[in-house]
Amino acid sequence: MSESDSTSSTSPSNFIQQIIREDLENNKNEGRVQTRFPPEPNGYLHIGHAKSICLNFGTASEFSGLCNLRFDDTNPEKEDLEYVDSIKESIRWLGFDWEDREYYASNYFDQLYDFGVELINKGKAYVCSLTQDEARQFRGTLTEPGKNSPERERSIAENLELFARMKAGDFEDGAYTLRAKINMQSPNMNMRDPVLYRIRRLHHHQTGDKWCIYPMYDYTHCISDALENITHSLCTLEFEDHRPLYDWVLDQLDIASHPQQIEFARLNINYTVMSKRKLKQLVDENLVNGWDDPRMPTLDGMRRRGYTPGSIRNFCDMVGVTKSNSVVDVGMLEHSLRDDLDKTSPRAMCVLRPLKVVIVNVEEGHKDELILSRHPKDEEMGERKISFSKTIYIDHADFEEVPPPGFKRLIPGGEVRLRGCYVIKCEEVIKDSAGKVVELRCSIDAATLGAKPEGRKVKGVVHWVPAEESVEVEIRLYDRLFNHEAPDATDGDYRDFINPDSLEVLTGCRAEPSLRDALPEERFQFEREGYFCVDRINSTKEHPVFNLTVGLRDTWAKQNR
């Protein structure tokens, strides 16, 4: 792992760390710090989850504590082992390790059932047969209190019998629920006798067909935290109103540990969506090419596009940890990425839209072996070889017959320097029958290899590759998936704002020979073009595929100096 990929800690000034420092000073939790990252295995992790991963693992590391990985697998209808495996791989890729502390909420299903029995015995839970619609009506509104279920005062014995029969599979799905007995008049809707268990006959990826009742998240999460001796349960702000229920459940039960729930603002980025439901919809409707499509904000997609773990962790540090929701400019994420890639990516030349150039004043078979640096600021990256010969390729965009104002590249009769090579002059323009430029005839100034031309100044520099020795590659140019800065916060359907130009595939591109043996996920700066990554899925030695990671321009950095 490179220095930029090393695990970074969270910002030393965030309020969660201040709370933990005070806890340690007061010897709370006997001086221990233990956190957890609790993903639902119902989709792939996205950049929003990266903030929580960095916060939970980083906070534990900061205080020499531990961080558990625990899958919140209480809804088998939407869960899959594919998601479990992808989540684990993404966390490891980010640079974090849960060691032997891999848990599942389903590990505790037996204990959770027993705690449900305990709540019934204490008169704190009851079995209810209200349908979902009836329960919604009884629940009340934000301005009107709820009404007690007609079955709220069942006897403990009857509740125990019904709960046991629920577990035994005696009832149809939805026939009964187990509800907490709290307060139907509470101003907090979460405290109005919330459901703890529901009947659902579903095959579970961990427990098989053992269970036909499954616990709800709010009931499961706090107990799982307590059973694992978590000290600080870090959640996003939408769980703030759930904290009284978190505490209530633990206060009723005979569990020694009572973790502290602390809420922080989730990560929101413009020009994207962060809802797993919507991301799954994009996948299911084939609006993208899978969860790992490089246009997706999933960690798998970002990895495939060429993002580095270090750039994502550094971005999460830059965003910080606050109690206020806000939207982060995607330019900040791209700035962090460029900053990392600039330091770690070797340079190479690749011509995306090749234009043939024949050098008229050198002989057939002419070859100059040139040595170029792999990185201008890091000699340890070494050098690369490239041959200059009679026929080369430059990019079509680097030639104009009628140049626009300020154009500093090749024009008829004009000169330009080839990167790390000679100055060439355009002597003749060859066109096809349709009038398209297909070839340039140029001459070199033999005295300009590693030297400035005498008596004149050549302003432009273009990249190039040798025709014979270059490698044919496919280039995939990626742009933002959405062309609206808030696609899911508008009156229309977020899918209406999918950018039709978010992917352009270029074939017949030509890359310098040093890229012939590039490996999947290797990253390069293609000079004058941007940063590119070898596609980890579709690239082969016979057909190399490079994904555009990010362009060279960093407008966010300029705006925030």
Q: Which two tokens stand for residue 542?
A: 């016979």
CA–CA separation, 186 and 144 (whole Å): 10
Helix (H) or strand (E) holding 110: helix 109-121
C-beta neighbour count of 269 within 10 angstroms: 21
Give the CA-trace dihedral at 23, 24, 28, 31, to 10 degrees.
Answer: 150
- C-alpha torsion sign, points 14, 19, 25, 27: negative
- Quick check: is 400 catalytic? no
Instruction: State in Å, rounded, how far the first CA of the chain is from the last one.
Output: 30
- The length of the chain is 561
CA distance 535 to 352: 16
99 is a catalytic site residue: no
User: Which among 28, 32, 40, 151 is annotated as catalytic?
Assistant: 40
User: Which residues fall within 8 angstroms of residue 532, CB to CB, at 6 or more apart?
Assistant: 306, 350, 475, 523, 524, 525, 526, 546, 547, 548, 549
Q: For helices 81-94 and 47-62, what crossing angle results, to 10°?
A: 60
CA-wise closest residue to 212 among 180, 175, 249 = 175
Q: What φ, ψ does residue 99 adopt, rounded to 5°?
A: 55, -120
Are 390 and 362 spatial neighbours (Cβ–Cβ below 8 Å)? yes
For 95, 267, 344, 481, 537, the CA distances from 5, given in Å and listed in that order, are: 7, 21, 10, 26, 22
What are the structure tokens assigned to 474, written together? 């496919």
Contact 305, 533 (CB under 8 A): yes
Cα–Cα distances (Å) from 389 to 179, 228, 420, 543, in that order, read 79, 67, 14, 24
Contacts of 22 (CB under 8 A, 6+ apart): none
Residue listed under structure tokens 């990252």: 37
Would you say 561 and 548 are in contact if contact means Cβ atoms under 8 Å apart? no
Q: Pick the catalytic residue from 266, 343, 408, 409.
A: 266
Active site residue 40: yes
Specify whether the CB–CB gap between 23 and 15 falls below 8 A.
no
d(CA 163, CA 128): 10
At 316, is the secondary structure helix, strand, or coil? helix
Query: Which residue out of 276, 295, 347, 390 is catalytically annotated?
Result: 276
Q: Could you list the active site residues?
A: 40, 266, 276
